[in-house]
Amino acid sequence: MAVRVDLNISLDGYATTTDQTPENPFGDDWGRLVAAYTATRTFRERVLGDRSGEGTTGVDDRYGAAYFEGIGAEIMGAGMFGLHNFPDDEDWRGWWGEEPPFRVPVFVLTHGRARPSIEFDNGTVFHFLDVSPEEALARAAEAAGGEDVRVGGGVTTVRSFLAAGLVDRLHVAIAPILLGRGLSLWEDLRGLEDGRTVTSEVAESGVVHVTFARD
Amino acid sequence: MAVRVDLNISLDGYATTTDQTPENPFGDDWGRLVAAYTATRTFRERVLGDRSGEGTTGVDDRYGAAYFEGIGAEIMGAGMFGLHNFPDDEDWRGWWGEEPPFRVPVFVLTHGRARPSIEFDNGTVFHFLDVSPEEALARAAEAAGGEDVRVGGGVTTVRSFLAAGLVDRLHVAIAPILLGRGLSLWEDLRGLEDGRTVTSEVAESGVVHVTFARD
């Protein structure tokens, strides 16, 4: 069992965007940050349910397909699930509609906002926990049945798992853009390369894929 | 005439290191940051005067050789020349001994510490100016006689030229290490990619070379 993280970041390290406005609630930066990934055939099939076979099939798609392979459980922060946006909406079921792309148990760290589990027909089950990274990982590892556990995001949750030394493989897809502000993945991670092998690869899109793998 | 910048930075964007101690006055991080470059045949020949032909000859060396090609003048900050370290030493002639690797006129921005020019036998002449980036560039461009002008560093000087829109080609050699602190190249450079083509290439050493070239 390995603990894996995959994140899209800008060249200046930002994993979040800050250009949302009432008129443009998602902003333009998020689309630019993840453009190479959302263009892949894997994303279109797995996340959008597009069976047309369209989408890119190069290096970005290889990482996109690997993202879903061998994952038995996922952990995410309250923000990624949407609890900060909809704290009082007990019917909130996440951003992903009725076919969340996870298809495995997902453990949401609630920071005090526990709620009943939510089960979907495709195998995705959201469980809500108010525990430490270590405890969440123990729960997720048990649910994963020997397969890997992903820490999905957001960046604050990822950083807490990295700081606790719990991540075996970190893959960042670096978009060649500078966002200038937001939440940085790299803050306080001095020496993360110690005891890890770092490999890099440039995709056709211009995205640079960097992987830190524990030796 | 193009204005060019080449910098070595860490994956988290730092162009300076902070682990200097009285016992280890250079620290270990600087060597790690520039290891791939100092291993190249070009660096050994051009900077160290090593005529043995030893050194790496791959992607890092290609960028190393390009660094010196077609440069007719250089601009650097007071810190890079050493004026902050030796403010009262009127005999200070820079860090590079009697064969500075520049071999062209070098304009040092003094921030109030003007001093007489210093000329070396190999064509390097240091001039000391207390002027704006634009004025320094005008002087350097005139001296370059149609060749390119490099803004050599340090990172604060580079950022001032980038912020003023004066840089035509920025090349960063990104070492796959996280320094966690220091002076970041990327601060306040949101949108630098606008109007520029960004290309990336991974060297055998693991260093990622990213180039922003004005369209």
Of B176, B191, B199, the CB nearest to A210: B176
B179 contact residues in A (CB cutoff 8 A): 190
Nearest to A200 by CA among B196, B37, B59: B59
Instruction: Render pLDDT for A9-44 as a digit per residue (tens, 0 to 9).
Output: 999 999 999 999 989 888 899 999 999 999 999 999
User: With the C-alpha atoms ordered B101, B104, B110, B111, is the resulting torsion angle positive or negative?
Assistant: negative
**Contact between B200 and A176 using a beta-carbon 8 Å cutoff:** yes
**Integer Cα distance of B34 and B60 in angstroms:** 11
A176 contact residues in B (CB cutoff 8 A): 193, 198, 200, 210
**Contact between A206 and B193 using a beta-carbon 8 Å cutoff:** no
**Contact between A190 and B180 using a beta-carbon 8 Å cutoff:** yes
Nearest CA in chain A to B203: A200
Tell me: cis bond preceding A154? Omega within 30 of 0 counts: yes
Burial of A25 from C-beta contacts in 10 A (0-12 / 13-18 / 19+): exposed
A11 contact residues in B (CB cutoff 8 A): 186, 210
In three-state secondary structure terms, A210 is strand
**Contact between B191 and A176 using a beta-carbon 8 Å cutoff:** no
B12 contact residues in A (CB cutoff 8 A): 13, 184, 186, 189
Of B193, B200, B202, the CB nearest to A178: B193
Of A180, A189, A200, the CB nearest to B189: A180
Enumerate domains of chain B plus CATH numbers: 3-214 (3.40.430.10)
Give the number of other CB atoms < 10 A from CB of residue B199. Answer: 14
In three-state secondary structure terms, B164 is coil
**Contact between B190 and A198 using a beta-carbon 8 Å cutoff:** no
DSSP secondary structure code for residue A75 in this structure:
E
**Contact between A13 and B186 using a beta-carbon 8 Å cutoff:** yes
Nearest to B15 by CA among B111, B161, B152: B152
Of A177, A200, A206, the CB nearest to B206: A200
Contact A19, A28 (CB under 8 A): yes
Q: What percent of chain B has pLDDT over 70?
A: 100
Of A178, A190, A200, the CB nearest to B176: A200
B215, B174, A68, A43 alpha-carbon torsion, rounded to 10° = -10
> What's the gap between Cα B118 and its chain centre?
19
Strand order through the sheet with B105-109: B118-119, B125-129, B105-109, B71-77, B148-153, B3-10, B169-175, B208-214, B196-202
Instruction: Render pLDDT for A110-149 as a digit per residue (tens, 0 to 9).
Output: 988 788 999 999 999 999 999 999 999 999 999 999 999 9
**Integer Cα distance of B19 and B10 in angstroms:** 14
Distances B132 to A61, B60, B109, B135, B166 between C-alpha atoms, Å:
47, 33, 8, 5, 12
Instruction: Render pLDDT for B40-94 as a digit per residue (tens, 0 to 9).
Output: 999 999 888 899 999 999 999 999 999 989 999 999 999 999 998 888 888 999 9
**Contact between B178 and A201 using a beta-carbon 8 Å cutoff:** no
Contact A6, A173 (CB under 8 A): yes
**Contact between A186 and B13 using a beta-carbon 8 Å cutoff:** yes
Question: Which of A10, A29, A200 to probe by mutation at the B interface, max B CB count within 10 Å?
Answer: A200
**Integer Cα distance of A98 and B13 in angstroms:** 40
**Integer Cα distance of B73 and B106 in angstroms:** 6
**Contact between B189 and A206 using a beta-carbon 8 Å cutoff:** no
Q: How far does the CA of residue B14 sit from the closest CA of chain A (Å)?
A: 10
Measured in degrees and rounded to the nearest 5, phi and psi for residue A155 equal: -65, -35
Instruction: Render pLDDT for B104-141 as a digit per residue (tens, 0 to 9).
Output: 999 999 988 788 999 999 999 999 999 999 999 999 99
Tell me: cis bond preceding A146? Omega within 30 of 0 counts: no
DSSP string, B76-125: EEHHHHTTTTSTT-TT---TTTTS-TT-SEEEEE-SS-----EE-TTS-E
pLDDT for A50 beyond 80: yes
Instruction: Render pLDDT for A79-108 as a digit per residue (tens, 0 to 9).
Output: 999 998 888 888 999 999 999 999 999 999
Can you state the angle between helices B29-38 and B59-68, rounded to 10 degrees? 90
Contact A137, A143 (CB under 8 A): no
Instruction: Render pLDDT for A106-115 as a digit per residue (tens, 0 to 9).
Output: 999 998 878 8
Indicate the pLDDT class of residue B25, thresholds 50, 70 and 90: confident
The tokens describing B52, both together, are: 């043995």
A150 beta partners: A4, A74
The tokens describing B195, both together, are: 């109007």
